[in-house]
Amino acid sequence: MTALTRNTHFCPGETWLDTDGKPIQAHGGGVLYENGTYYWFGENKDNDTRNERIDIIGVSCYSSRDLLNWKNEGVVLPAVQDDLQHDLHPGKVAERPKVIYNRTTKTYVMWLHVDSADYLAARAGVAVSDKVTGPYTYLGSIRPNNRDSRDMTLFQDDDGRAYLIHSSDWNSVTLISDLTDDYLSTTGHYSRQFDHEIKNTGRESPALFKHEGRYFIITSGTTGWFPNAAEYAAADSIHGPWRVIGNPCVGDNAALTFHSQDTFVLPVADKPGKFIFMADRWNKDDLRDSRYVWLPLEVNGEQLTLKWSDSWSLNEL
Go through the domains of the chain in sequence order and give each one's CATH number.
Answer: 27-310 (2.115.10.20)
Identity of the amino acid at 109: V
Give 237: exposed, middle or buried? Use CB within 10 Å, 0-12, 13-18, 19+: exposed
How high is the pLDDT of residue 149?
98
Spatial distance between the Cα atoms of 121 and 86, rounded to a whole number of angstroms: 12
Q: For residue 127, with 0-12 CB atoms within 10 Å meaning exposed, 13-18 middle and 19 or more buried, which class applies?
A: buried
* Sheet containing 231-235: order of strands: 204-211, 214-220, 231-235, 243-246
* Strand ordering across the sheet containing 173-179: 152-156, 162-168, 173-179, 186-193
pLDDT at position 48 is 63
Distance spanning both ends of the chain, measured CA to CA: 24
Cβ-in-10-Å burial (0-12, 13-18, 19+) of 95 comes to buried
Nearest CA to 55 out of 30, 26, 78, 31 is that of 78
In this prediction, residue 52 carries a pLDDT of 53
At 161 the pLDDT is: 98
Answering whether pTM is above 0.85, one says yes
pLDDT value of position 202: 83
Query: Which class for 252: exposed (0-12), middle (13-18), buried (19 or more C-beta within 10 A)?
Result: exposed
pLDDT at 317: 87
What stretches in the chain show pLDDT beneath 70?
1-5, 48-54, 197-201
Which H or E run includes 291? Answer: strand 291-300
Q: What is the pLDDT of residue 2?
A: 46
- Contact (CB, 8 A) for 224 and 200: no
